[in-house]
Amino acid sequence: MTRILVVDDEPQISRALAVNLQARGYDVDVAATGEKALDLAARTHPDAVILDLGLPGMDGSDVVAGLRGWTTVPIIVLTVRDAEADKVSALDAGADDYVTKPFGMDELLARLRAALRRAAPSEEDVVVETEDFAVDLSAKRVTTKAGEVRLTPTEWQMVEILVRNAGKLVTQRQLLREVWGPKYEDETHYLRVYMVQVRRKLEPDPSHPRYFITEAGMGYRFEA
């Protein structure tokens, strides 16, 4: 059974999320603080995390950073902070998506399903190799001579789409639609944030990318 960790200090929201998730067949753990969330995550190893940023004590962004130290499970942030800078900050910290409060339950559950699909293993057996790293499309893993590179599910989805279309321009709109959904076709700041992270992890010189090329105003291209 797919296990979801819900982290929110508002009992009504936690209860509503737990009821709706359990009704759809998910196993649910609930935490009201960041400290409890990290403890539960370490013990139960959830398949995804739904996390409020405004927690008592440890801030939600610190919880994201703590989780990203050892796991790549999808993290969907709940926040009342609707400024673009706050959203970018949450994504930059390692979150895969965000939902602004108040939110629609159906939309949140759709985002969760999409995040879980992005994290699901592929059955294909294809490895794409470059001079600096290898991309295993079956195992959803990237390795260098130094070992495995940890990518978040969203980072992996971007890499996978670009690698599968090696040598071809993938438009900004196409990437946004395939990774986040059709409602996100204008959220180009998502791409900027995640491409910086991907290059930092995989490019030998991130400021002068060799593999993940920007086509200004159009999109991105992977060159092996």
pLDDT, tens digit (0-9, with 9 covering 90-100), for 19-75: 999 999 999 999 999 999 999 999 999 999 999 988 998 888 889 989 988 888 999
Q: Per-residue confidence at 1, pLDDT binned at 50, 70, 90?
A: confident
Domains of the chain: 3-119 (3.40.50.2300), 127-222 (1.10.10.10)
Question: What is residue 185's predicted lDDT score, i.e. its pLDDT?
Answer: 79
* Cα distance from N-terminal residue to C-terminal residue, the chain: 38
Structure tokens at 31: 């935490």
Question: What is residue 125's predicted lDDT score, i.e. its pLDDT?
Answer: 54
Please provide the average confidence, as pLDDT, over all residues in the chain. 89
Question: What is residue 167's predicted lDDT score, i.e. its pLDDT?
Answer: 87
DSSP secondary structure letter of residue 90: H
Structure tokens at 20: 């709706």
Question: What is residue 123's predicted lDDT score, i.e. its pLDDT?
Answer: 54
Coil vs helix vs strand at 161: helix
Q: Taking the mean position of all CA atoms in its chain, how far away is CA 200? A: 16
Q: Is the pTM of this model over 0.75?
A: no
Question: What is residue 113's predicted lDDT score, i.e. its pLDDT?
Answer: 92
CB 159 within 8 A of CB 135: yes
Going by DSSP bridges, is the β-strand pair 3-7/48-52 parallel, antiparallel, or unpaired? parallel
Question: What is residue 174's predicted lDDT score, i.e. its pLDDT?
Answer: 86
Structure tokens at 99: 């939902």
Whether pLDDT at 121 is above 80 = no
Q: What is the pLDDT of residues 145-169, one digit of tens each?
A: 899 999 998 999 999 999 988 888 8
Question: What is residue 84's predicted lDDT score, i.e. its pLDDT?
Answer: 72
